[in-house]
Structure 1
């Protein structure tokens, strides 16, 4: 059976009027308040954490009611898929960001079916292509929303599709959570091994500082503002690694770069020490260190990534590891033979970790593709058709 395509403006009320709330509630009555941060990604559930008096929110905030569907219209929230269904609202009413688009479904369309339709990556891609406004403040046009056509089967068929997608997405989310935990466990195992290696110092290990074993080349760094950079083939390094590519270089040797500033100095979501090779440029957000031996350099890179730098970092709002603090970091000093042995053992385990990470990341990609495939099949009629064939 062929489904009819219907414009969203014809099967939904878009932006219901605030006057509804004023007719049913007193100014002092509480309503749910939902800022943009509380609109989820990949989940229909809103984070209902705050109530406000109706009088506080009727001005510039967006009104919605129980079972309305909310969609972020501004970049990057729209592209990221911020979307949800209003359920469990205080007094059945909510107000939130002025950047919400609110859909109220009709008797021919259920909210959950609309939610999955708006969740499709193809919908976001089409919307992104026609966004208007200044950079950083682009919004999806009203006309795109109103004119988007949704395949509209009977309500009972919509319910069947939603039930299938709910179960499939729940299973996929469980698989994703398990895979992400496995990724985390693998990383933590490697980090634990690093800490164990460096805590069991043996013969030939001498307490030292970075200033004693490395030459600091910070004075050679030159920052280039984004508008002054000329695109090229040479990596342009900052605190987090390569941030751009430029047409010239400062260094042409293997050196160790260490983050100078940024939240990652404390958060440690990615390495703060990393090796740069070839021809490249470094700005003033990464310290530059030269070592007499490549194995000693790699040994120190592993060591710095295994310890907390909190005692050396100043500033909490804007963490910074200045040159004086960097030079004072206590490090083990070893000869090249010891460094080579330890680096080779750590590198072997790191290679295994990288292989495991590639496997798990590939699985995460397949899970994402499975969701996309299910959504495509759901709105082409294939999903329930296949279920009917299996049932027969």
Structure 2
């Protein structure tokens, strides 16, 4: 008889509830061990470690002596000392990597502990040790610029900074602990500071983001953030560490340069223009390569001189910032003047008594054509930037392409009233009258073209429609499925009630508006020129600082 086979037991798998309970138990044990370990370190503090010295390599073995046929003893003939070949001496550029490696090893021993119990290795303006201050990198050949003051030298940025340093090995941190997180939006491009840093749990940001420490310089590498000046010093980080977007290059200054010196240097317009010329990548996703930062030359002055110049720059740039804010406030007030003048006329008691008609009764709607990427004809197209309450702006005309059969019908005629048909809620309904300059431009289907009839003055109609736009009328009345893009249809405009006083009343109203509007335009131009002069102060200060003129 065949022996009976023992039935196999089915392997029992833990249920989901048991697995969740096991994980919770492990978390509790891990937290208890971390608390006990922290209490032990507080009770029995360790003695400070000495810096780790670089390991010395053993000398290789001497090769076995070979018999020499020309020697009677069968060995190589011995040479007198004066016939020995000269001993090669290390060049200056061979010592720099060794110094950087020595510093990296010595600093790495201090970073093996948890960041919760350590202080950052580099803070802005921290004093450098005399040993490393004397070990500054060798000077580089001077570029074709003005000579530097005595004691200054040109060095590579990669020799005075650690570019994109890695996270310390063995770094431990509680997963739920709050950690500083810096997206690109929190960097103030005007001031070059961190405005409102975010706080997230360490487990959410420890992977997939850029690591940095207190005092590191953050340089935005992607367009257009790089050109806009989104570069700042990482200050006020929780426990001295933080994470941010991957579009940051991290520059960690070494002991013979301060963070402010690096920060002010990379914010120079000349440096940003040169970085833009070295972009890599596709259009819209271009970035500054790390090789550009590493190989770029920077003037290096003694540490006391760096701190003195940084203090002067901080005070003077702060004064420039206050002057710029005051000029921007005056510019906003000047831009608001035309709106107040128009409201005072078209909301007056006299205007309420004017007869009203629909816009379709006093205007003809002219045809519009679409802009096409595959169009055969290159044209200059009107955009919303060309329409303003102070007149038609030639700067808002942009190049585009259109079908050759559509260009004749879309070409503007002097005297047309143009209305922005589709845009954001702040810009939809913007109005201007085209008076023939520049000539030969076309309007796309994003602009509604109106031709006033004989009984309606074009300037009077433009002024009334501008008052509606400035009061926010079209931001509320315009339709559209998207919350960001509003649209005005021809039906909206055709049914709009507009005032139609007599020809004399229209001319008198335009005369009352002419002088205030002209004064507002002149005031706006004066404030803009003042703002341009203020904006040129910061680049001038930075240029003087890094040429030794401060």
Q: TM-score higher than 0.5 here?
A: yes
Aligned partners of 1:31 and 1:92 also within 8 Å: no
Task: State the distance in 2 between where 1:226 and 1:364 align.
Answer: 38
Q: State the alpha-carbon separation in 2 of the partners of residues 209 and 18 from structure 1.
A: 69
Q: Residue 156 and residue 357 in structure 1: after superposition, are their counterparts in 2 closer, same or farther (change >3 A)?
A: same
1:314 aligns with 2:473: no
* DSSP 3-state at the match of 2:200: strand
Aligned 8 A contact 2:360 2:495 in 1: yes
Task: Give yes or no for the alignment of 1:144 onto 2:292.
Answer: yes
Say if 2:536 is the partner of 1:369: yes
2:383 paired with 1:216:
no
Distance 1:237 1:374, change over 3 A: same
1:1-392 counterparts in 2 under 5 A? 1-19=150-168, 23-202=171-350, 205-217=354-366, 220-228=367-375, 230-231=377-378, 235-241=380-386, 242-245=396-399, 248-249=407-408, 250-263=411-424, 266-268=425-427, 272-278=430-436, 279-293=440-454, 296-307=457-468, 308-315=473-480, 316-383=483-550
Greater RCO (Cα-Cα under 8 Å, separation 6 or more)? 1
| Whole-Å separation in 2 of the counterparts to 1:86 and 1:24 | 21
Q: Distance in 1 between matches of 2:334 and 2:376?
A: 39
TM-score (norm 1): 0.89
Highest CA radius of gyration, 1 or 2?
2
Inter-CA distance 226–348: structure 2 relative to 1 (3 Å threshold): farther
Deviation at 1:267, TM superposition (A): 1.6
Q: Deviations over 1:229-275 (max 9, x none)?
A: 6445xx41234434424695523332001011111xx324x970011
Aligned length: 375
Return the alpha-carbon distance in structure 2 between the equivalents of residues 188 and 201 of structure 1.
Answer: 22
Question: Which has more helix, going by share of residues?
Answer: 1
Name the CA shift for 1:295/1:156 in 2 (closer, same or farther; >3 Å): farther
For the residues of structure 2 that align with 1:321 and 1:54, how far apart are their CA atoms? Answer: 48
Residue 357 (structure 1) shift: 1.3
Residue 354 of structure 1 and its aligned partner are, at CA, apart by 1.4
The structural deviation recorded for 1:19 is 3.5
- Range that drifts further, 63-72 or 313-322: 313-322
Name whichever of 253-262 and 276-285 sits farther off.
Answer: 276-285
Deviation of residue 295 (structure 1)? 7.0
Q: Deviations over 1:165-187 (max 9, x none)?
A: 11111111111111111111122
Work out the CA distance in 2 between the residues paired with 1:155 and 1:9.
Answer: 18
Q: Give the superposed CA RMSD.
A: 2.1
- Which region of structure 1 is more displaced relative to structure 2, 286-295 or 357-366? 286-295
Could you tell me which runs of 5 or more consecutive residues in structure 2 were left unpaired when the two chains were aligned: 1-149, 387-395, 402-406
When residues 289 and 16 of structure 1 are mapped into structure 2, their CA distance, relative to the original with a 3 A threshold, is: same
